């Protein structure tokens, strides 16, 4: 990273925002380089530094893609599937039991409502 202008905290020029500020606006830096940084002096420690990005180059936060959605669903499905009976328990298998409750407690009566 080359030398970028440094601004005092709260004196950032218009059109620049920190990653956090972009995020609050539903934006992300989008691969652009840091254009400036803010420094807030701290007592007895190095200054607190925040990197600034150009708002006009920021991109919307990437929406969840179909593939990511499917991967998440598969992961959740796996966590709900009992390794003993192979059935979808309908809930996440408790790691303490390692299997669904009918498998963990085969002798307990199911309380059918």
Residues that bind Zn ion (CB under 5 A): 82, 84-85, 99-100, 103
E-assigned strands of 1-113? 6-8, 16-18, 27-28, 36-42, 45-54, 59-60
**Cβ proximity to Zn ion, 36 vs 103, nearer residue:** 103
Q: How far is the CB of 33 from Zn ion (least distance, A)?
A: 53
Q: How far is the CB of 81 from Zn ion (least distance, A)?
A: 9
Distance (Å, whole) CA 94 – CA 100? 8
**Cβ proximity to Zn ion, 50 vs 82, nearer residue:** 82
Q: How far is the CB of 25 from Zn ion (least distance, A)?
A: 46
**Cβ proximity to Zn ion, 39 vs 99, nearer residue:** 99
Q: How far is the CB of 72 from Zn ion (least distance, A)?
A: 23
Distance (Å, whole) CA 1 – CA 50? 14
Name the DSSP letter for residue 106: T
**Cβ proximity to Zn ion, 2 vs 106, nearer residue:** 106
Distance (Å, whole) CA 88 – CA 77? 8
């Amino acid at each position: 990273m080359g030398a970028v202008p440094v601004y005092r905290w709260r004196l950032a020029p218009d059109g620049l925002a920190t990653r956090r500020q972009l995020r609050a606006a539903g934006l992300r830096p989008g691969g652009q380089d840091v254009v400036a940084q803010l420094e807030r002096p701290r007592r007895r420690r190095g200054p607190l530094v925040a990197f600034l990005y150009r708002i006009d180059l920021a991109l919307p936060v990437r929406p969840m893609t179909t593939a990511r959605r499917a991967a998440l669903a598969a992961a959740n499905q796996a966590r709900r599937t009992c390794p003993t009976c192979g059935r979808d328990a309908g809930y996440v298998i408790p790691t303490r039991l390692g299997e669904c409750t009918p498998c963990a407690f085969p002798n307990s009566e199911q309380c059918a409502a």
